[in-house]
Structure 1
Amino acid sequence: MNETASSLSEPFLRLGATTITLGQAMAVGAVLFLLLACALVAALWRSAKAREQAAAEAAAQAREAGARMAAIVQSQAEMQGRIGAIAEVFGARQAELTQSIGQRLDAMTGRLGQTMSEQTKSTHESLAKLQERLAVIDTAQNNIQSLAGQVVQLQAILSNKQTRGAFGQARMEAIVADGLPMGGYEFQTTLSNGNRPDCLIHMPNGAPALAIDAKFPLEAWNAIRAAEGAEAQKMAAQAFRRDLEVHIRDISEKYLIQGETQDTAFMFVPSESVFAEIHEHFEAIVHRAHRARIVIVSPSLLMLSIQVIQAILKDARMREQAHLIQGEVVRLMEDVARVDERVRKLQTHFGQATKDIDDILISTAKVTRRGEKIEALEFGLPDAPDSAAGAAAKPDKHSVDSKTGQLRLRVVERDD
């Protein structure tokens, strides 16, 4: 015992200045053990209680899960029913949609076919019109080619002096022949000096004839148009001016003959553009031609001059036929006098006929009045012999025949 007590009092642990004995350590260990045991018991109790609560909660959760599963099963059944209804609705709607889409596709196909047919028809019509226009274009192209060939021929004609003169001569002859009667002109006739103007127009009343020249120096004019550069154009213009002066002098010397031709002659230019260029850029030549009594005329001016000459010729012919017109007027006045005399006689006959008609009307008026008087008479039979005797004794306009019983009328003639 004592050994045990002494062993318990021996130091066991020193903490700083504090010494802990074995007994104290064991006492502390025992206390700690008790505390641990109490804590373990409390932990076990709490664990059991927790397990009970967990079991209760698990049961409650199981019950809630079952309820939830039942609700889910019920919801699933309802969902399946709704899904079936929706499927039926979707099926019906899909059938309607399919039918509607089919109808729309059929209508669209029909419209598309009609549109394509109309488009094809329109395309055919457009192609037909295009072919017609192409045919017109081909015709126009052929005409243009023909015209180009004619222009080339005209250029070839104008490039040759003889053919150019024939061309101007032809235009001048056409204008003169269209405006003047036959016999009023002559082409290529010979004058007394041996020269031959292109045309000679005979004037009325024995007046001298008018000479027309149709030869124009077109080579110099073409040289002006073909010249390149100011110097070349100037030289070509000088050559053209010189040729014109020579041509004007030749016309004045050859075709102006005193007493045989007019003191003025025409120089025919077969182009209006050339005529305008001459008057615009070569005014000195125009004045020189006027001083030489040469008139430069274009086709339009020549046509106007021919119309004036035609009017002069017509007036001259009217003057020549004036005595015939006067004779016809005298005979016309004689005819008018005879018509006046016969009308007066007819008026006399009409007057006599009017008087006779008036007399006839007077007689018919008398007959009418007498008829009215006869119609106004009152016819009655006598009642007594005395009355009959008195009626017989008294002159009256009517009486009755005693034998025949007929009424006899005695009309007293009276001249009204």
Structure 2
Amino acid sequence: MAVSDYILIGLLGLALVGILMLARKMAALSGKLEGAEAQNQLMQIEAGLRYMNEQAGEREKAIREEFRGNREELTKAITQLGETVRKLGADQSTQQQQFRDKLDEKMKELRQENSQKLDEMRKTVDEKLQTTLEKRLSESFKTVSERLEQVHKGLGEMQTLATGVGDLKRVLTNVKSRGTFGEVQLELLIQDVLTPNQYVANYDCGRKGTHVEFGIRMPGADAEIYLPVDAKFPTEDYERLLAAVEAGDTDGIATTQKLLANRVKGFAKDIATKYINPPYTTPSAILFLPTEGLYAEMLRIPGFVESLQREFNVTVTGPTNFQVLLTTFRMGFQQMAMQEHAQEVWKVLGAVKGEFEKYGEQIAAMGKNVKAMENHIDKLETRKNQMLRALKSVEQVEDGTAQNLLPDDTD
């Protein structure tokens, strides 16, 4: 049953209850009323009850009709609502299916696009990696080849150097060859700094049969005076000292150092005796040691070099400080050349001064002549003006007539 049926049954029940209550009240009143008045009252009451019953029937009928119409409208509305819900469900399902299809299609396209881009990126990365790898490998192989070539070249140079060292060792085992080595190095240093006219090789010191290896001309002297320079190389004593130093033998170092100092001292004495011979030479000489290590060992002995200079007037030098000494000589020669050029310049300036005085005299004479010429020109200008004033009343003829009357004799 519908809700409207329950409501209708309830209303009918209420109406019956009301009728029963009225009937009970009428029965109660009928017992109290008497006579015609009571009969009239009952008839009125019955008429009212009938009217009420009719009204109730009509109302019930109207209510039933209204409830039936409402029930039909509600049923129709519910049916329409169901159909609408079904349509909405179907539409929503269709839209969801369409959305799902579009989403699947977009996802498929996105996957394909991503896959394509990933393939392109992978291809690009592979190409770049391949190119970079090939470039790096080429550079690495090139570098390795260059290094191997350098190593091979270095090995060849080392072999050549080893051969040269062996040859040098064989040369240095001979006393004459050691002297030649020192002399060659001394000659190279002198040739690098001085010009050929500033030194003499195998210089004659003025004693019979005594020739020093090199004589360096002293700059600034009135007469030519040469500084004797001789190279010495005590190889055996120096090698013994190096061996003792390498072995850490303190006593051996002291002994070999003393022997080396005595040998160098003997060289200095020999140079002083043979080669120092004023006025052919300077009062002092140079003892050249061809290695810096040997010269450093001499400097390591306290006061040894100074004692040789005081006792024999012989200065001990190594390659570096001897080159500095040669540079000093060269600067002296350059200063002398500058002084000579300065004297020549002064002479030229004196000659120019005389010529300039003569030039001044010529300019003065020319000025006088120019002044006389200006005076003469002024006089001619005055005469011209006088002539023009005298001819002021004469009429001027045309150019062609003037040319006929006064022909140009220059032609």
TM norm structure 2: 0.59
Kindly state the Cα deviation for residue 264 of structure 1 after the two structures are TM-superposed.
Answer: 0.9
Deviation readout 1:367-395 (Å, 9 max, x if unpaired) = 9xx9xxx9xxxxxxxxxxxxxxxxxxxxx
Quote the residue 1:303 is aligned against. Answer: 323
| Aligned counterpart, 2:291 | 271
How many Å separate the matches in 2 of 1:323 and 1:95? Answer: 107
Letter of the 2:106 counterpart: E
CA–CA distance in structure 2, aligned partners of residues 127 and 322 of structure 1: 68
Q: 1:310 corresponds to which letter in structure 2?
A: R
Give distance in 2, aligned partners of 1:134 and 1:358.
98
Deviations 1:122-180 (A, max 9, x none): 22332333344334434543554455346532574264344443333222212222333
Distance of 1:223 and 1:361 partners within structure 2: 110
Q: Which residue of 2 aligns with 1:195?
A: 210
Bigger drift between 323-332 and 242-251 goes to 323-332
> 1:96 maps to which residue?
106
**Residue 168 (structure 1) aligned with residue 190 (structure 2):** no
Code of the aligned partner of 1:290: Q
Shift, 1:261, TM fit: 1.8
Answer whether contact 1:269 1:296 (CA < 8 A) is retained.
yes
Pairwise CA distance, 1:286: 0.9
Match of 2:135 among 109, 125, 134: 125
Say what the alpha-carbon RMSD is for the aligned residues: 4.0
Q: 1:352 to 1:305 in 2, by over 3 A?
A: farther
Structure 2: where are the runs of 5+ without partners? 1-84, 396-411
Which AA in structure 2 matches 1:245?
K
**Would the alpha carbon gap of residues 107 and 189 (structure 1) be closer, same or farther in structure 2, given more than 3 Å must change?**
same
Matched residue type, 1:106: Q
Query: 1:64-111: per-residue Cα shift (whole Å, max 9, x none)?
Result: xxxxxxxxxxx9x99999777656544432332222111111111112
- 1:259 positional shift: 2.6
**1:341 and 2:361 equivalent?**
yes
What residue in structure 2 maps to residue 408 of structure 1? none
* 1:5-84 mapped onto 2 (5 Å cutoff): none
Question: What SS does structure 1 have at the residue aligned with 2:351?
Answer: helix
CA shift at 1:329, angstroms?
4.7
Are the structure 2 counterparts of residues 197 and 239 from structure 1 closer, same or farther at C-alpha, using a change threshold of 3 Å? Answer: same
- Give the 3-state SS of the residue equivalent to 2:358 in structure 1: helix
Aligned to 1:69: none
* Matching residue's letter, 1:250: D
Would the aligned equivalents of 1:269 and 1:298 in 2 still touch at CA under 8 Å? yes
In the superposition, the TM-score normalised over structure 1's length comes to 0.58
Deviation for aligned residue 1:297: 1.9
Task: Please name the residue that 2:151 is paired with.
Answer: 141
Give the equivalent residue in structure 2 for 1:4: none
**Cα 1:110–1:326 shift into 2, 3 Å:** closer
The one-letter amino acid of 1:112's match is R
Contact 2:232 2:290 in 1 (8 A): no
Residue by residue over 1:345-387, the C-alpha shift from the partner in whole angstroms, topping out at 9 and shown as x without a partner, is 34445545666787899999x89xx9xxx9xxxxxxxxxxxxx
Counterparts of 2:144 and 2:293, CA distance in 1: 35
Q: Which amino acid aligns with 1:201?
A: I
- Contact kept, 8 Å, 2:240 with 2:256, in 1: the verdict is yes
Note if contact 2:261-2:298 (Cα within 8 Å) is conserved in structure 1.
no
Greater per-residue helix proportion: 2
Select which of 274, 278, 282 maps to 2:301.
282
- Identify which range, 106-115 or 230-239, moves more after superposition: 230-239
- 2:168 match: 157
Cα distance, 1:141–1:190 mapped onto 2, change above 3 Å: farther
Q: How far does the alpha carbon of each residue in 1:319-341 deviate from its partner, in whole angstroms, 9 at most, with x for none?
A: 77898666545433332222222
From the superposition, tell whether residues 246 and 128 of structure 1 become closer, same or farther in structure 2 (CA, over 3 Å): same
Q: Name the amino acid aligned to 1:102.
A: Q
Match of 2:231 in 1: 214
Whether the 8 Å contact between 1:157 and 1:167 is mirrored in structure 2 is no
Instruction: Work out which of the residue numbers 343, 349, 352 in structure 2 matches 1:332.
Output: 352
Contact 1:267–1:295 (Cα < 8 Å) also in 2: yes
Instruction: Please give the alpha-carbon distance, in whole angstroms, between the structure 1 residues aligned to 2:319 and 2:367.
Output: 64
Among the aligned pairs, what percent are the same residue? Answer: 15
Matched, 1:258 2:278: yes
- The alpha-carbon deviation at position 211 of structure 1 amounts to 0.8
- 1:182 and 2:196 equivalent? yes
- Shift of the 307–122 alpha-carbon distance from structure 1 to 2, 3 Å rule, reads same
Q: Is the 8 Å Cα contact of residues 216 and 226 (structure 2) preserved in structure 1?
A: yes
The 8 Å contact of residues 157 and 164 in structure 1, kept in 2 or not, is answered as no
Determine the C-alpha separation between the residues in 2 that align with 1:154 and 1:334. Answer: 69
Match of 2:255, SS state, is: helix
* Secondary structure in 2 matching 1:283: coil
Higher relative contact order (CA 8 A, sep 6+): 2
Contact (CA 8 Å) 1:157, 1:163: kept in 2 or not? no
Structure 1 pair 356–149 and aligned structure 2 pair: CA distance change class (3 A): farther
Q: Counterparts of 1:362 and 1:124 in 2: how far apart (Å)? A: 104
Contact 2:202 2:214 in 1 (8 A): yes
Which residue type is aligned with residue 184 of structure 2? A
Gaps of 5+ in 1: 1-74, 375-396, 400-416
Give the CA deviation at 1:246: 1.9
Alignment-derived partner of residue 26 in structure 1: none
Change (3 A) 1:83 1:317: closer
Separation in structure 2 between the aligned mates of residue 80 and residue 276 of structure 1, nearest angstrom = 111
Secondary structure of 1:118's match?
Answer: helix
Q: Equivalent residue of 1:300, what SS?
A: helix
Report the more deviating stretch, 147-156 or 290-299. 147-156
